[in-house]
């Protein structure tokens, strides 16, 4: 199908190649979860979530939850997941409470080092510089014990996916419009065809720990 027929913006398009590592997520999932936190009573909920695509290099995500006993609606959220070829992933999520999350992949968190010496090269560290010879961008060059060290922080993702293990780990870079929440992590995993996730949060009073765990099956 070429998607040329029908209303503008509709039609069936092939999955964009950049989504290939995450196609196992596409579809509708339904299941149950448990919530808790040191400051609240624990609770159980039902949930349905969908991952869809339109042929663009992005997955649309939406989720709604309800009280298991009564079916009364609870929290809902939606957003966009943008996987990148390097195994990182950019995710934005807007929650029904007004809170917004950005899990970005542009955090500098690891460092590669190359050290040269007349006797060879090494990649471990001989310690911090006494005197930096040269700084350019986030890189620096210095000498320790007759070894010349070049240190270059490498781009490492905060949000990552592992297509083989079917695990996606998200770490908030930004939590906005929230009075209490300071940080959110989310881990999604598919094992034996079942999607499970853990959402952790840190608030102004409580350090990072689980708020939600859920198990869903594909419809």
To ligand HEM, the closest distance from the beta carbon of 38 in angstroms equals 8
With respect to ligand HEM, which residue has the nearer C-beta, 18 or 196? 196
To ligand HEM, the closest distance from the beta carbon of 47 in angstroms equals 7
Instruction: Label residue 83 exposed, middle or buried (CB < 10 Å: 0-12, 13-18, 19+).
Output: buried
To ligand HEM, the closest distance from the beta carbon of 65 in angstroms equals 4
To ligand HEM, the closest distance from the beta carbon of 18 in angstroms equals 25
Give the other-Cβ count within 10 Å of 61's Cβ. 18
List of residues contacting ligand HEM (CB under 6 A): 35, 37, 39-40, 43, 45, 65, 74-75, 95, 99, 180-181, 184, 199, 201, 203, 211-212
With respect to ligand HEM, which residue has the nearer C-beta, 49 or 115? 49
With respect to ligand HEM, which residue has the nearer C-beta, 142 or 197? 197
To ligand HEM, the closest distance from the beta carbon of 178 in angstroms equals 7
Spatial distance between the Cα atoms of 200 and 214, rounded to a whole number of angstroms: 12
In which residue are the tokens 């240190």 written?
151
With respect to ligand HEM, which residue has the nearer C-beta, 9 or 38? 38
To ligand HEM, the closest distance from the beta carbon of 2 in angstroms equals 38
Residue 23 has phi, psi (to 5 degrees) of -65, -25
Give the other-Cβ count within 10 Å of 143's Cβ. 16
With respect to ligand HEM, which residue has the nearer C-beta, 19 or 168? 168
Q: What sections of 4-93 are H helices per DSSP?
A: none
Token digits of residue 26? 């596409």
H or E element at residue 28? strand 27-37
97-132: b or e for each residue (b if 16 or more CB lie within 10 Å)?
eebbbbbbbeeeeeeeeebeeeeeeeeeebeeeeee
């Amino acid at each position: 199908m070429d998607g040329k027929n029908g209303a503008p913006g509709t039609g069936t398009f092939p999955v964009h190649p950049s989504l290939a590592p995450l196609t196992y997520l596409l579809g509708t999932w339904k299941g149950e979860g448990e919530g808790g936190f040191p400051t609240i009573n624990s609770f159980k909920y039902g949930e349905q979530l969908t991952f869809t695509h339109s042929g663009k290099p992005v997955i649309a995500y939406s989720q709604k939850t309800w009280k298991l006993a009564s079916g009364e609606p609870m929290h809902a959220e939606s957003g966009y997941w943008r996987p990148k070829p390097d195994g990182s992933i950019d995710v934005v999520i807007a929650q029904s409470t007004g809170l917004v999350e950005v899990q970005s992949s542009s955090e500098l968190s690891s460092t590669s080092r190359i050290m040269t010496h007349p006797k060879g090269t090494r990649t471990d560290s001989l310690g911090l510089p006494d005197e930096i010879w040269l700084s350019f961008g986030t890189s620096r060059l210095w000498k320790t014990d007759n070894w010349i060290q070049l240190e270059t922080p490498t781009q490492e993702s905060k949000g990552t996916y592992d297509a083989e293990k079917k695990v996606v780990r998200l770490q908030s870079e930004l939590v906005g419009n929230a009075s209490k929440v300071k940080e959110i992590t989310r881990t999604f995993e598919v094992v034996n065809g079942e999607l499970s996730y853990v959402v952790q949060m840190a608030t102004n009073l409580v350090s990072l720990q689980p708020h939600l765990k859920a198990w869903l099956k594909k419809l």
